[in-house]
Amino acid sequence: MSKVFSHTARKPMSPEQVQKGLESFRNPSKWPDWNSSAKNLLATKAESIDEGDHLAIFQVIKGSLIETKWFVNSIREGDKFCEIELLGEGQNRNERPIAKGLKKLSISITFLYQENGGIEVHSSCEVSRLLALFSKQINAFMKTHAEQFLTDLSMIE
């Protein structure tokens, strides 16, 4: 059995600001400009993110190179919205796997660019019942994870 942890963060924004956030998100070459944790990003294509693409975010934490891999699972677009779902493919520290206890890590970002719209970020993961003993830390991680994306995307000008 496993336990699911999730967090959703929302921020109302103007349609123009949401559109700029979406454009920056869908352009991998701009990620280091707006994403505070992605100092480098390696993507399937340099100028666009599409369904089925792979992303690798590189950052240095306490002197160690951390690589976080994502798969672009789905992109749904409509007249005034775009929803992008990323699935975590794992994390490495100095080329060794870490964070193996988090299963089915996903992040879903919804861009609603209309009046009274904004950006919503939903992150979730599953952990074993044993790892669920650390629920306070896992909840804090999920909250930080979702709110970091939201804060970074809302700061784009």
pLDDT, tens digit (0-9, with 9 covering 90-100), for 109-123: 999 999 889 999 999
More confident residue, 12 or 128: 12
Q: Where are the alpha helices (DSSP H) in 7-157?
A: 15-25, 31-34, 135-154
Identify the pLDDT of residue 72. 96
Q: What is the pLDDT of residues 68-112, one digit of tens each?
A: 899 999 999 999 999 999 999 988 888 888 877 778 899 999 999
Q: Is the pLDDT of residue 1 over 70?
A: no
Instruction: Domain 2-154: state its class.
Output: alpha beta
Mean pLDDT of 124-149: 87
User: Which of 65, 119, 70, 63 lies closest to 90 in space, CA to CA?
Assistant: 70
Q: What is the pLDDT of residues 31-59, one digit of tens each?
A: 888 988 877 888 898 889 999 999 998 88
Q: Which amino acid is at 123?
A: S
User: Alpha carbon of 55 to those of 1, 86, 118, 121, 139: distances in Å?
Assistant: 30, 9, 24, 18, 24
Identify the pLDDT of residue 85. 97
Mean pLDDT of 3-7: 90
Identify the pLDDT of residue 122. 96
Please give the mean pLDDT across all residues of the chain. 89
Domain extents for the chain? Answer: 2-154
Q: Is the pLDDT of residue 15 over 80?
A: yes
Backbone angles phi, psi at 79, to 5 degrees: -60, -45
Q: Is the pLDDT of residue 127 over 70?
A: yes
User: Alpha carbon of 23 to those of 20, 84, 142: distances in Å?
Assistant: 5, 12, 25
Identify the pLDDT of residue 133. 83
Identify the pLDDT of residue 41. 85
